Structure formats: C-alpha cells, structure tokens
Structure 1
C-alpha cells in the first residue's frame, strides 16, 4: 500500500478566486485564498475548526468575513473594513524562492506569500516595505502563521504599523466558551473608547454580551475552551504582545451586512496582535510575528489537557533583526 504523503495544490475555487490547499498525512487540511492571504478553512479530518460567515462575500474589494484575516498596517474597530488595513483586501502572490526563513519549519506542508502594495495603497500609506507570510500545517494538525515585515526605505524613514491575526474560531455555542490566560491583564475596551485602560477581574473570559477588547501584554499561550465540543484551542504567539477578542452579539450581528443574524452564536474572534504600541522599524530592520494554533481534547471534560500547564509552556523569544 502506497504511503500517504503531504500535498500542496493550487486551484481556482467555484467563486473564481485562487486558493492553495495543504493536506497532511493524518487527514488534516487548510485552504488559503490568495485574496487577503487568508486561511479560510482548517479541517481536522472532516470537522471544520474555523468559522466563515453564512453571508461572507467572496467578491473583491470586500474582505472575506471569517477564517484568519491579516490586519495590516492598522488594526481598528471591528466591522469597519477600512480600519483593518489593506492586507486583507489585497491579492497576495505566491513566492517561489523566498529569502531564508528565520526558523526551521518541521513540516513540508507550507506556502509562502508576499504582499506587494498597489500604487493606490501606497498613496494612502507611503512606506517602502516587504511583507511576507508563511502559512504552514504540521503533521499533527497545528496551523502556524509567520509574518515578516522589513523596512526597505532608502531615505531613512521609520516604518510604523499595527498588526493582528484576526482568527474566527468555530465554536458550538458562544455562551459555553471561556478563554483562560487573560485574567488580571489590562485591556482596552473599544466599546468604551480605545484610550481608556481597564483591568480584567474575572477568573476567565466568558461571553454574555458584545465584546471588543484588546488584552495588553498577554502571555505566550492562551486556551479557548469549548465546553460543549469538549475541545480546547491552544493559541501560541511570538513577537505580538497583545490579544484581540471580539464577538458582536445579537444586535451588532444584525447590523453587519456580511454576517448572518445568528452567526455570532457559533464564532469567537481571538488573535495575536500588536495594537496599543505600533511596531517601529528602522531602515533595514525586519520584524517577525507568529501565531500557532492547535485543537486538543478539553481538560474540563476529558482530563487529557491541563490548561494551566498549557499556559506555562514556553515559546521562542520575539526579536527584531537588522
């Protein structure tokens, strides 16, 4: 019997947009649209782990509501397209021979993308830079995104930007979900104005109404626990100090044109970010930001994972290189 092997396939979807499909030997797969450089599907066998809106538009220039949106060079109010940067509405290109990657990738299932801003985008954001994105799928099903931004200015101009991996996790019921690892942290509440700081008082983050927050100085790993599914998403980050958390709840969901009225019940946006303090690079400097996700049995139901241990696990130290 022939041994199963990882595969990488570039195809055109039924909506006319190009995508890359990565498959690993254990039945896990991801789909990446070149439009937005956006992961739109992450499957563990036949189960979908990412949420995509029932009303998502797959027609440029609108962003695709769901999956993992790359927010660059700014991160603003959720639901407002122009405040999340142009990267998620830009056609990325596959880079066949990228420069040497800063860290070794254990898997052969990955795709390298490069963002080349258009003249119109550069009019609104006049900076010289290179933006590269590697999207990788491990044999065990982990999904890893690594972004590199280099200041290529020749006139001495600094490059400053905000960034977020806005990840729409698919959940069984938002009221049955909790996020651990963010307790006691300071946060910005965009519902109350982004300039005011608050401190998280709860033992864990639970959801009973609209949430639009940025947790500051978050730990390298957090856990998103779905009690009904008996599953925990473990999100690890490197080079990105903050964590964004968003759910529009019922009234806001009805006001968002590309989101179904009931969709908020089955989604939770959580992602590694740099929001409060923009990343600033001198000419020639390069920044690397990374987010890694895994889905494991939830300790609260199966006893197979202790979230406290998950949060204590280490991850590489972020760096800015010249």
Structure 2
C-alpha cells in the first residue's frame, strides 16, 4: 500500500492511493473521489477534461458530495444548489490499511461560523473512502447540536462509459420516478424495462432496490452499485444541448458518462436527532 499526498490541478491537495487491488485519486478539496481504477481495468469514474479545479468551484466528475440538501435550496433563500460541501476544503482525518489489503481514507469537515451562517446547525460530516477490490463510500452525518435537523443529500457519482448509446441502467424496472427533465414537479411515471439514454435524462427514482447496475456494451463491462440508507436514486445525463452550454464539460462528454446517484432526495428526507448520526453508503464494483 502506498498513500501519496500531492499538489494536484489548480494547486488543490490530492491523495493518491495504490494497493494490490486498485488505484484511486481523492481530492481533499470537496471530499471527492476523482478516480477508482481496479487493477487491469479502466477507470470506473469519469472526470471532464474541462473540469474546474479552483476554490469556490465544483469539480465536474468523480463523486461530488451534495449536502445538506440535494437540488435547489429547500428554503428558497438563494443558497447554492446541492448545498455547500462540494466547493470547500475538507480535512484528512484518518488513513489506514485494512486486513484484506484495502486502504481507507477518511476526510471530514465540521461546522464553523461560516457554515452556521449558511445553515444554522452544528454538525460533523465524514466521507469514509475504502479502496480495494471495490470502492466503498460512506457519507456519515453526525448532529453535534442540541436539536434535530433534517437533510437531503447525494453521492452525485459520474460513471465512465464507453458510449452512452450502448449503455443501459438496470435494477429500476417497474419503479416510480419523477421526470424532472420533462415536467419539473409533475406526477410520477413508471419505469418500463431497463433505462436507455438517448436524450436528456434527469429522474428521481423512488423505492429503489439495494443493487443497480450500469451495463456498458462498448467497454463490455458491468458496474454494480449497492447502497444502503437511501430510498431514492437519481439517474442523470445532460445530453448534447445542456452539455454544450456547460463550460466545464466538453461538448461530447455526455457520450462518456452516466450519473447514477445514491441519494436521499425529494421526499426521502433524513431526520438526524441531536447526538445521533446517519450513514449513507454506496459500493461500486466491476
């Protein structure tokens, strides 16, 4: 096992992990995994070549963290979409080698006068990252205040695919979803068969199973996603027009990724009591 701390793009601190099972790149800024490459395989994660690496900006790709809300500001106060964790510096709290040869890195961030001015709750947030035969992620929220608070959240993961036209997402057949691309906050629809993507897709799926999969015909591989602590998942691809309007995506990047996000979104609101903690967990494997 080797753990190397380096200065990455934009001068941001990065942690490179290499062990017998896989290699990974973790950005301390944003608490964000940027790369997970099992030995003998291509990277499971996608990061745009146009991604911003600058304080105050979100990095387009890997596993951005949306917290303590997912989507628009729930109180309509003009605060940024997806909360305030994906564009600030975290701290390295722990690294360890595990008996199975995997490597765990724990990044974290605690409430401060700055965060309390944005969101008036005391907290301790940890991102536990275990790099091994699989990539295991746990987003751990601890309420360090004296009153209950509620959150929505996500691991907004960008998965690399060889060709979006040859990619399907399975496991959500028959589930209900909110189609945000088509009708905003309109009624729910039912998923018919596997998800194929040939236009903009922005959907919140409800009552999801514990395992989903991305079947990648071009790279001839299947990425399996198992999760716990969530009742919802989001599937997103911006397609051509929106991708072309995003400066931190190349025009054709939409053909190279699909986001399958482990979420507490929409009505999947988490209540965290004073002194309690909540774990949102995902594991990615080939």
Instruction: Say yes or no: TM over 0.5.
Output: yes
State yes or no: 1:294 paired with 2:285. Answer: yes
Gaps of 5+ in 2: 73-77
Q: CA contact under 8 A between 2:164 and 2:255: conserved in structure 1?
A: yes
Distance in 1, Cα, partners of 2:107 & 2:148: 24
Distance in 1, matches of 2:121 and 2:43, equals: 38
User: Counterpart in 2 of 1:226?
Assistant: 216
Output the CA distance in 2 between the equivalents of 1:108 and 1:222.
Answer: 23
Per the alignment, residue 69 of structure 1 pairs with 64
1:106 Cα deviation (Å)? 4.7
- In structure 1, what is the equivalent of residue 42 of structure 2? 47
- Tell me the equivalent position of 1:273: 263
The residue aligned with 2:28 is 34
Residue 176 of structure 1 is matched in structure 2 by 166
2: CA distance between counterparts of 1:198 and 1:52?
31
Give 1:153 shift.
Answer: 1.2
Distance in 2 (alpha carbons) for counterparts of 1:216 and 1:223: 16
Alignment partner of 1:124 is 2:124: no
Q: Secondary structure at the match of 1:53?
A: coil
The aligned runs of 1:1-322 (5 Å cut-off) are: 6-26=1-21, 28-45=22-39, 47-76=42-71, 82-96=80-94, 106-138=100-132, 140=133, 142-154=134-146, 157-276=147-266, 277-295=268-286
Moved over 4 A (4+): 104-108
Higher Cα Rg: structure 1 or 2? Answer: 1
Count of matched residue pairs: 278
Report if aligned partners of 2:95, 2:105 keep a CA contact under 8 Å in 1.
no
Q: Normalising by structure 2, what TM-score? A: 0.91
Unpaired runs of 5+ residues, structure 1, are: 1-5, 99-103, 296-322
Structure 1 residues 193, 12: CA separation in 2 closer, same or farther (over 3 Å shift)?
A: same
8 Å contact 1:186–1:197 — kept in the other structure?
no
Counterpart of 2:269 in 1: which secondary structure?
Answer: strand
2:189 and 2:273 map into 1 onto residues whose CA distance is: 33
Q: Report the CA distance between 1:93 and its aligned residue.
A: 0.3
